[in-house]
Amino acid sequence: MKIRTLSILLLICVIILCAAYVSAGAGQRPQGLKKLSIEDKIEKLLRKMTIEEKIGQMTQYSWRSGSEDYHKHLRRLAGEGKVGSFLNLTPGICVKERNELQKIATEQSPSGIPLIFGFDVIHGYRTVFPIPLAQSCMWDLDLAAKAASVAAAEASSDGYDWTFAPMVDIARDPRWGRIAESFGEDPYLASVFAAAKVRGFQGRNLADPRTLVACLKHYAAYGAAEAGKDYNTCEVSERTLREVYLPPFKAGVDAGAATLMSGFNEISGIPTSGNRHILTDILRDEWKFDGFVVSDYNSVAQLITHGFAEDYGDAAQKAATAGVDMVMESEKCLKELQRLVKTGKVSEKVIDQAVRRILRIKFRAGLFDHPYVDPNLSESVILSKEHLQTAREVAKKSMVLLKNDSSLLPLRKDIKTLALIGPLADNQKDLLGTWAGAGRSGDVVTVRKAIREKLLPQSRLLYAKGCGIQDDSTEGFNEAVKIANQSDMVILAVGESEKMSGEGHSRAYLDLPEVQKKLVKKIHATGKPVIVVLFSGRPLSISWLKENIPAILLAWHPGVQGGNAVADILFGDYNPSGKLTTTFPRTVGQVPIYYNHKNTGRPPREKDRYTSRYIDISWTPLFPFGYGLSYTTFEYKNLKVNPNKIVLGQPITVTIDVQNTGERAGEEVVQLYIRDLVASVTRPVKELKGFRKISLKPKQKKKVSFTITSEQLSFCNQEMKFVTEPGDFKIWVGPDSVRGLQGDFKIVPPK
Ligand code: BGC
């Protein structure tokens, strides 16, 4: 009897288990996938999905751009599995919007696949950091990564999963407004920053809820826009593409970036959102990238405007077959894509491949296991004390001291009367900089407030705005001159508004706006010592300032802690250490101007007209790449290259002694450049190959050491392969791209 009862019980268990198994297999919720590997889970899901759902995964809509009716429509699509991602949920209430949409997607849609929510977290979330161009001037990768992890913690606590950052486009043209979002002009520096930012955003484990999925953009060569006009044509050779524009993307992919964004631009005739060569041959076949590519806003439909696609269907087909997986806001194209798959014009395999890549990242990001975000989390995370401290640290280190005659800076805190003048002196909004989506001007500490706090109570601080950033009125000049005359010293806070750089904000002039130039001249004419604090989103041509103003601090657009960072530097609580990562031109006519140019057959020579130069201005920059002053001085000695003759494949060690010869502790960015003298393809006159940021106490000396591998000396040969060729090399180690001690070494072929 007992045995019979047991057998019956066993049978019942087996039936229950089988039923559970069958229902998990055929059921709609992805929970039944728990024990499988990610790749098996993907295949299992794919087998069940209809073509509408698959194309749904490839679809991304912007949430913010619509009315309530539009939002209703989007909710319905989420419930039908016809959308895979949203961007631009509303900062501040994103968690609520997200959780509601996520519930619809996971509980009502046929396959219950969670949505992924993207946002442009470019240089911080509520804790806005300096613009990326400024951050690159820190030459501090750990701090750059920390800034990204702070941004990730804040944005993820508010409900986002994915940032459209870092932008790793090389920018050699300061007219281009998006130079502000870049890490500057150098492929090596931008590459190490790309990797650091990816590490910062994504952390060690993408499934950790405090991380964001990173997106390397804009793939590729978007920064090569002709004449610096945004969205313009990019005429880039395969070699320049591979040597200059692609390395930061490759570095970001190697660091584990989960997504890339294809750009708006064309590369030599092929728009990037339909460019199979870069999206598939290079990205997938050569680099083995297994994440997904999202196209930039409407760039798939714009394949028609480029004259590259006939209609929406053609555009969708070209984008999908080239390697775009998710389409940002090109709804009509995706509808057509569905039709093309159904009529057999586009193979379902292409669609499956795209969906596979998207699901892979959704699994890796932990969205299936944790689709919701705790609505109470953000309060303790956003604008926390630690985050603000990091923002201040980053802002201080991003600023570059361009000039400091007779050690005018730092200032004494007991100065009797100080005049603070200029449209950026008591300004919050513009200090945020471009693309500060979740930033609020109320969070910004102004220069005026920070200086007031720094000064001793008995010191007087007089303030006058003087003029606006761009309007023509000179009405405020008299007041400004009056307070300058009453003071011992003047601080002039001038520059660009946040709107003067960024997307769609290219400039044909790189000067200070006319009204501000006049203001500076008026104040200078008072004869008072003047310090200019320059705010901008790009290098500016400020020759007059350089010639006439004794001290200039470049503050960029420094974010919420900008005022405090400026005050820390002006009063010597922080010794500036930032170094330029873009060349400053004397005038816009020199643009593009960058340090790692080629020699030409007729390099420039004084008084020799038939050389590569101008007849009306010097060919040299106003401030070179790598340049920046400190309140102390550093001496470079004992450059040693060991060995100075190596067999191809062997590493070289370079050492140098750097000593702080001044009276203050300071940090120095020790930079190493090389030149390959003769090669089968012409090489730049200098190339950055390494740097170290060191701290030195007064009189302290440190030995700095670099290892150069053969691989670091490689370039793209005539067959488009990266090779290192034997031959003679020059090497410089110094404080910028112009000065430094020089050595040489030779590479000989293996026997
Ligand atoms: C920009 C991208 C950005 C996207 C989404 C586009 O206009 O080019 O950089 O990520 O919008 O906001």
Burial of residue 167 (number of CB atoms within 10 Å: 0-12, 13-18, 19+): buried
Task: Provide the percentage of residues in the chain whose pLDDT is more than 70.
Answer: 95
Three-state secondary structure call for residue 448? helix
CA gyration radius, the chain: 28
Q: How far is the CA of 503 from the centre of ligand 1 (A)?
A: 8
Over range 255-280, report the average pLDDT: 98
Ligand 1: nearest atom to the Cα of 263: 8
Mean pLDDT of 117-133: 98
Q: How close is the Cα of 217 to the center of ligand 1, in Å?
A: 9
567 Rama class: left (phi>0) / alpha (psi -120 to 50) / beta: alpha
Predicted confidence at residue 580, as pLDDT, reads 99
CATH code: domain of residue 681: 2.60.40.10
Tell whether 437 and 562 lie within a shared domain: yes
CA of 337 relative to ligand 1 center, distance in Å: 23
| Residue 430, domain CATH | 3.40.50.1700
- Same-domain pairing of 581 and 638: no
Residue nearest to atom 8 of ligand 1 (CA): 296
Q: Are 161 and 211 in contact (CB under 8 A)?
A: no
Give the side-chain half-sphere CA count within 13 A for 29: 12
Query: Does residue 327 fall inside a structural domain?
Result: no
Distance 176 CA to ligand 1 centre (A): 15
Q: Does ligand 1 have an atom closer than 6 angstroms to the CB of 169?
A: no
Range of 573's domain? 385-590
Residue from 182, 272, 297, 506 whose mutation best tests the ligand 1 pocket (most atoms within 8 A of CB): 297
The strand pair at 417-421 and 460-464 is best described as parallel
pLDDT over threshold 90, residue 28: no
Query: 533 is written with which tokens?
Result: 């604090």
Same domain, 641 and 718: yes
Which sign does the torsion angle of CA 168, 430, 62, 330 carry? negative
Does one domain contain both 578 and 638?
Answer: no
- Same domain for 666 and 554, yes or no, is no
Domain boundary among 533, 565, 590: 590
Tell me the mean pLDDT in the region 527-553.
98
Nearest to 326 by CA among 261, 277, 371, 276: 261
Among 116, 122, 164, say which to mutate for ligand 1: greatest number of ligand atoms within 8 Å of CB.
164
pLDDT band at 29 (very low <50, low <70, confident <90, very high): low
Q: Catalytic annotation on 285?
A: no
DSSP, res 244: I
Distance 120 CA to ligand 1 centre (A): 7
CA atoms 424, 425, 430, 432: torsion sign: positive
Phi, psi (deg, nearest 5) at residue 534:
-105, 125
Residue 243 lies in a domain: no
Residue 539 shares a structural domain with residue 391? yes
Task: Provide the 10 A C-beta neighbour count for residue 110.
Answer: 16
Task: Answer yes or no: is the C-beta of 217 below 6 A from any ligand 1 atom.
Answer: yes
CA distance 56 to 73: 14
Q: Is 503 in the pocket of ligand 1 (CB under 6 A)?
A: yes
Quote the strand ranges of 465-503, DSSP E.
489-495
Per residue in 358-410, pLDDT (tens digit) is 999 999 999 999 999 999 999 999 999 999 999 999 999 999 999 999 999 99
Helices within 462-598 (DSSP H only): 477-485, 514-524, 543-548, 562-570
Question: Which residues, at least 6 apart from 379, have a Cβ–Cβ distance to it below 8 Å?
Answer: none
Domain membership flag for residue 153: no
- The rounded distance, in Å, linking the Cα atoms of 141 and 211 is 18
Q: Which pLDDT tens digit goes with each residue over 457-510?
A: 999 999 999 999 999 999 999 999 999 999 999 999 999 999 999 999 999 999
Residue finishing a domain among 572, 590, 608: 590
Angstrom distance (rounded) from CA 402 to CA 412:
20
Q: In whole numbers, what is the pLDDT of the chain averaged over residues?
A: 95
Quick one: 552 and 653 in the same domain? no
Q: Which range (58-67, 416-425, 681-690, 700-709) has the least confidence?
A: 58-67
Residue at 6 is within a domain: no
| CB of 120 sitting under 6 A from ligand 1 | yes
**Cα 183 to middle of ligand 1, angstroms:** 17
Task: Read off the tokens for 424.
Answer: 């950026």
Average of pLDDT values for 213-221? Answer: 98
Considering the domain architecture, whether residues 585 and 644 belong to the same structural domain is answered as no
The amino acid sitting at 215 is C
If asked whether residues 513 and 405 sit together in one domain, one would say yes
Domain count, the chain: 2
Task: Assess whether 551 and 690 both reside in one domain.
Answer: no
- Say whether pLDDT at 105 is over 90: yes
Residue at token pair 């890339």: 260
Residue 5 has pLDDT above 70, yes or no: no
Q: How far apart are CA 438 and CA 152, in angstroms?
A: 13
Residues 292 and 217: their CA atoms lie apart, in Å, by 12
Q: What phi and psi values does residue 694 have, to the nearest 5 degrees?
A: -120, 155
Could you tell me if the CB of 162 is within 6 A of ligand 1? no
- Band the pLDDT of 66: cuts 50, 70, 90: confident
> Does 18 have pLDDT greater than 60?
no
Q: Is the CB–ligand 1 distance for residue 296 below 6 Å?
A: yes
Ligand 1 geometric centre to CA of 123 (Å)? 14
pLDDT band for 330, please (50, 70, 90 cuts). confident
Ligand 1 midpoint to CA 555 (Å)? 25
Type of residue at 613: R
Please tell me the residue having the least CA distance from ligand 1 atom 7. Answer: 297
Low-confidence winner among 3-17, 110-124, 129-143 (lowest mean pLDDT): 3-17
Kindly state if the Cβ of 657 falls inside 6 Å of ligand 1.
no
Contact 96, 72 (CB under 8 A): no
Which amino acid is located at 226 in the chain?
Answer: E
Amino acid identity at 293 = V
Q: Of these residues, 296, 325, 430, 443, which one is catalytic?
A: 296
> Which residue in 154, 116, 202, 102 sits closest to 437, CA to CA?
154
In this structure, the answer to whether residues 702 and 562 fall within a common structural domain is no
433: left (phi over 0), alpha (psi -120 to 50) or beta: left
Q: How far is the CA of 61 from the centre of ligand 1 (A)?
A: 13
Q: Is residue 703 part of a domain?
A: yes
Closest atom of ligand 1 to 264 CA is 8
Residue 568 inside a domain? The answer is: yes
Residues 558 and 681 in one domain: no
Pick the residue whose CA is nearest to atom 10 on ligand 1: 164
Distance (Å) of CA 600 to CA 237, 378, 591, 610, 612: 17, 56, 17, 12, 8
- d(CA 439, CA 501) in angstroms, rounded, equals 16
Omega before 484 within 30 of 0, i.e. cis = no
Ligand 1, from 218, 503, 505: best to mutate by most atoms within 8 Å of Cβ?
503
Evaluate whether residue 712 is within a structural domain: yes
Question: Which range among 59-68, 312-321, 529-538, 702-711 shows the weakest confidence by mean pLDDT?
Answer: 59-68
How close are the terminal C-alpha atoms of the chain, in Å?
87
User: How close is the Cα of 663 to the center of ligand 1, in Å?
Assistant: 47
| Predicted confidence (pLDDT) at residue 234 exceeds the cutoff of 90 | yes
The answer to whether residue 450 is domain-embedded is yes
